[in-house]
Amino acid sequence: MKLQHLFILFCLLCFKNSFSQNPVLKKEDIYESAPFPECHASTIVELSKGKMLAAWFGGTRESNPDVCIWQSRNENGKWSTPEKIADGVIDEKLRYPTWNPVLFKTNEGKLFLFYKVGKNPREWWGEMKTSADNGVTWSKAEKLPDGMLGPIKNKPVQLPNGDILYPTSTESVKGNIWHIHLEKSDKNAKNWEKIPIENDTFGVIQPSILQYADGRMQLLCRSKQNYVVETWSKDGGKTWGPLKTTSLLNPNSGTDAVTLKNGKQVIVYNPLTRGKQWSNGRQKLHVAVSTDGVDWKDIAVLEDETKGEFSYPAIIQSSDGLVHITYTNNRKKIKYVVMDVK
C-alpha cells in the first residue's frame, strides 16, 4: 500500500474515532405543542432510575401575569403533555407572573419545587411546593421566610450533615446592582439562614455550586463583565473568597454546572460576549469539562447558529452516570439532551 493511501486511511480512522466519541446520545424537544406561546428557565431532576421530571415557566411572554410553572415527566423515553403545577394567583383580582422553577430531590427522597412570584426580579419573592408522589401531585404553595428567595435559577446541593445549600442572588431596585449570596436550610427546608458574599467589583447573579474531593466549593456565576465569574470556599460554603473572572466567556446569560461522580466538573454556557457582533450572544451553546475548575475544555456544541436564543441551561447527572441537560429553545420550546461524559 502506498504511503499516500496509508495517510488517507489514517485520517479516516481518526475522523471515525473522533465522531464515535461524540458525547451527545439524545437531543429532542420536550413537547411539540403547548397551551402557551413562550417558555423559559427550565429545570430537571431524576425521580428514579429511568424517570425524569422537567419544569419551566410558560405564558404569553416573560413577566406577563399569565406566566405559570409547567412540568413534564419522562418515562420509558417519552415526555408527557405539559401540565400546570404553580401560578401567581393572589385572589380574584390580582395575579403575578411566576419565574425560574428549580426542582430538587433530597437524599431522603423528598421532592421540592422552588420558584419565584412577583412583577419582576427586583420585587419577586420565593415560594415552594413539595410532592410525596414524585410530582404527580403537589402541596399548596408556601412562601419562603422573609428575606429568603431560595435557589434563584440553579439547583441546590445537600451537605454531608443533611443541610441544603442554595445558590441565589438579588437584583436591586436602585442602581440595577447584582449580588450573589447563599442560603441554607435543614433537610426539610426549615430553619433558613443567609450566607453573604462580599463583592464590590462584579455584577453577578445566578450562581451554580461545584464541589471538590478536598472539601472546597466553587461558585460559577452569570455576569455583566463578559466572562463567567467565580469564587471559592475552603470551609464547606461558610465563607467565600474574592470574585474573579474565569476563562469562560459569558454574554450576560445564565449558565449551570454540576460535579460528576468521578470528580469532573461540567458547565453548559454560551461561549460568546454580548455586543454588536453577537447581539445577545445566546445563539451558541457549548458544554465544557474541567478537572480543577480552572482549565476548561469544550467537549460538545449543542447549538451553533448565527441568530436565535438557546439559553438558561440546567444540568444534572443521573444515577446511571449519564448527564441530562435542558435549555430554552428560542423561547418556544424546551430542549432535552442526554450525554455520556467520560
Question: pLDDT tens digits, the chain, 342 residues: what are they?
Answer: 444 444 434 443 443 344 347 899 999 999 999 999 999 999 999 999 999 999 999 999 999 999 999 999 999 999 999 999 999 999 999 999 999 999 999 999 999 999 999 999 999 999 999 999 999 999 999 999 999 999 999 999 999 999 999 999 999 877 679 999 999 999 999 999 999 999 999 999 999 999 999 999 999 999 999 999 999 999 999 999 999 999 999 999 999 999 999 999 999 999 999 876 667 899 999 999 999 999 999 999 999 999 999 999 999 999 999 999 999 999 999 999 999 998
In a domain, 10, yes or no: no
| Rg of the chain over all Cα atoms, to the nearest angstrom | 20
Residue pair 293/230 in contact (Cβ under 8 Å)? The answer is yes
Task: Say if pTM beats, i.e. exceeds, 0.85.
Answer: yes
In a domain, 36, yes or no: yes
In a domain, 148, yes or no: yes
Rounded distance, CA 303 to CA 219, Å? 25
What residue numbers bound the domain in which 114 lies? 25-339
In a domain, 131, yes or no: yes
Rounded distance, CA 129 to CA 135, Å? 10
In a domain, 32, yes or no: yes
In a domain, 158, yes or no: yes
SS (H, E, C) 26-89: EEEECCCCCCCCEEEEEEEEEEECCEEEEEEEEECCCCCCCCEEEEEEEECCEECCCEEEECCE
In a domain, 121, yes or no: yes
**For cell 436550610, what's the residue?**
185
What is the tally of structural domains in the chain?
1
- Per the structure block, which three cell numbers stand in for 139? 402541596
* pLDDT at residue number 279: 75
Residue pair 288/269 in contact (Cβ under 8 Å)? The answer is yes
Question: How big is the CA angle at 156 (ends 320 and 144), to the nearest 5 degrees?
Answer: 135
Residue pair 162/186 in contact (Cβ under 8 Å)? The answer is yes
Residue pair 130/109 in contact (Cβ under 8 Å)? The answer is no
* pLDDT at residue number 277: 65
CATH number of the structural domain spanning residue 248: 2.120.10.10
Rounded distance, CA 72 to CA 55, Å? 6
Residue pair 282/270 in contact (Cβ under 8 Å)? The answer is yes
* pLDDT at residue number 1: 46
H or E element, residue 14: helix 3-20
In a domain, 31, yes or no: yes
